[in-house]
Amino acid sequence: MCGIVGIFARSNVNQTIFDALTVLQHRGQDAAGMVTCEGDRFFMRKDNGLVNEVFRTRHMKRLMGNMGIGHVRYPTAGSSSSAEAQPFYVNSPYGIALAHNGNLTNAEALADDIFRADLRHINTTSDSEVLLNVFAHELQRLGKLTPTAVDMFKAVEEVHKRCQGGYAVVAMITGYGVLAFRDPYGIRPLVYGKRVVDGKVEYMVASESVALDTSGFERVRDLVPGEALYIDNEGQLFLQQCATQQTLAPCLFEYVYLARPDSIIENISVHSSRMLMGVKLADKIKKERPDHDIDVVIPIPDTSRTAALEMAHALGVTFREGFIKNRYIGRTFIMPGQTLRKKSVRQKLNPIASEFKDKVVMLVDDSIVRGTTSKQIVQMARDAGARKVYFASAAPEVRFPNVYGIDMPSATELVAHGRSAEDVGNYIGCDWMLYQDLDDLKACITELNSDIKEFDTCVFDGKYVTGSVNAEYLQKLESKRNDDAKTMADSDSDAEEDASADLHTRIN
């Protein structure tokens, strides 16, 4: 899960990219980066940290140009080294910068192929750098002194043939234009829009429509699976399908948790889909426990608020805000280590005791991943005086790892892996555990857009839509994603950065 943005304008784009990345900050809190282009020169700034920490006034002054791309990142393999911050850059051919949201499932094989056959060097462990070099090699093979839109699309076509997994990409070619494309399954979101300034059209492409809204761009549409968009340095827009086969199968978890509620993905309001999730949960409660004794429905802020409100309304039960959230603590789902996650929950949420005392409480969350946060929240509710604590998840059981760009834990660290709903309820300490049914979750989307026939549901049912994921790959992923591996990776990363800082001190 990362956030990307690309812009072609008629004046400096640094502030617009900054603003777009700020509203996409929920998609990654680990690092941020921006590359702009003025004439035939690139200007880059990237580092670990939040957007407003990475870009200071002195950096913004140097980021000149009317074209640019940006990225907010969270690590997909546990590493938080600043060397992995995006965008990445290669100087051959032309000079290309690229940022990417997603994950290539054949990155290791590609990296070896790039070294042995394409004679290119990969400097990091990031699959985004692999993807950049694949694209650069395919563009270079065309041998054009001045590349055209046709050349860009031909190179993307070859990328689709070589790369497997989920990916949404923005790239910039020095002095030529901005390029964006989406994988043939449309797993990760990508939308474009336009605005008119002084009679001239400007374009933006981004992970979510909210980035367009806040900068005054009118949303046009999502890029379809396999499609590429190119804006040349004259401001001409070109669109072309670059995949020989394509199937729309968007990630269901975008609607459950990842996306902002004010975004529109595949012509679906994320907010509206979450309202339906609450209605479907209420219907399940009526079916399973028509004589339920719920006194109050309380959301676990912020993502579950919409579903909880609609559940309460459909049940005819009181809705209350029972937890106060500290706005200065990041999203615990994307924190790198289990120790840090455990510590942050009590810093992040504090209960309002009067909303719990002597009541039967239904807590609602968007999903349950490890169960660590849920367990602590249930205990908070009990400590605040709740008579009974029920727990509902707007998503089905998360039992399998995601391989398309969401850094979920290894399968053995997922609380629902190999457990029933009752087992999970016992683990987190609630009196009744309720999960959304997968078919109901799909219906929350298809009822709003009947054109969508398939989804990426891998975290719920272990079915990987690209068909390229095998047991060996999942075993390797398991070894990279467990907490011990992440702790080691973070330690190595800290050591590398300390050594780098020491070297910098000695040089200066």
What region, left, alpha or beta, does residue 58 occupy, with left being phi > 0 and alpha being psi -120 to 50 degrees? alpha
Question: Mean pLDDT over all residues of the chain?
Answer: 91
366 in a known ligand binding site? yes
- Domain boundaries in the chain? 3-247, 269-325+345-455
pTM score of the predicted model:
0.91
Structure tokens at 94: 């032309």
- Half-sphere exposure of residue 200, counting CA atoms within 13 Å on the CB side? 9
- Encoded amino acid at 315, one letter: L
502 in a known ligand binding site? no
pLDDT band at 410 (very low <50, low <70, confident <90, very high): confident
Q: Which helix or strand (DSSP H or E) is residue 372 part of?
A: helix 372-383
Using the predicted structure, report yes or no on whether residue 494 has a pLDDT greater than 70.
no
Q: Work out whether the CA dihedral 368, 485, 466, 210 comes out positive or negative.
A: positive
Nearest partner of 186 among 136, 224, 151, judged by Cα: 224
Stretch 279-300: mean pLDDT: 97
CATH number of the domain at 3-247, out of 3.90.1170.40, 3.30.2350.10, 3.60.20.10, 3.40.50.970?
3.60.20.10
- Regarding beta strands 227-232 and 177-182, do their DSSP bridges make them parallel or antiparallel, or are they unpaired? antiparallel
Stretch 140-151: mean pLDDT: 95
Nearest partner of 345 among 318, 309, 314, 371, judged by Cα: 371
293 in a known ligand binding site? no
- Encoded amino acid at 210, one letter: V
CATH number of the domain at 269-325+345-455, out of 3.40.190.10, 3.40.50.2020, 3.90.1210.10, 3.40.50.2300?
3.40.50.2020
Cα–Cα–Cα angle for 356, 361, 364, nearest 5°? 115
Stretch 134-138: mean pLDDT: 97
458 is catalytic: no
pLDDT band at 343 (very low <50, low <70, confident <90, very high): low
pLDDT band at 503 (very low <50, low <70, confident <90, very high): very low
DSSP 86: S
Return the SS3 of 407.
coil
Least confident piece of the model among 74-78, 232-236, 275-279: 74-78
The one catalytic residue in 2, 37, 163, 242 is: 2
Nearest partner of 388 among 349, 432, 436, judged by Cα: 432
Distance from C-alpha of 54 to C-alpha of 60, rounded to nearest angstrom:
10
Return the SS3 of 263.
coil
pLDDT band at 483 (very low <50, low <70, confident <90, very high): low
- Half-sphere exposure of residue 61, counting CA atoms within 13 Å on the CB side? 3
Stretch 420-425: mean pLDDT: 97
Least confident piece of the model among 6-10, 136-140, 311-315, 503-507: 503-507
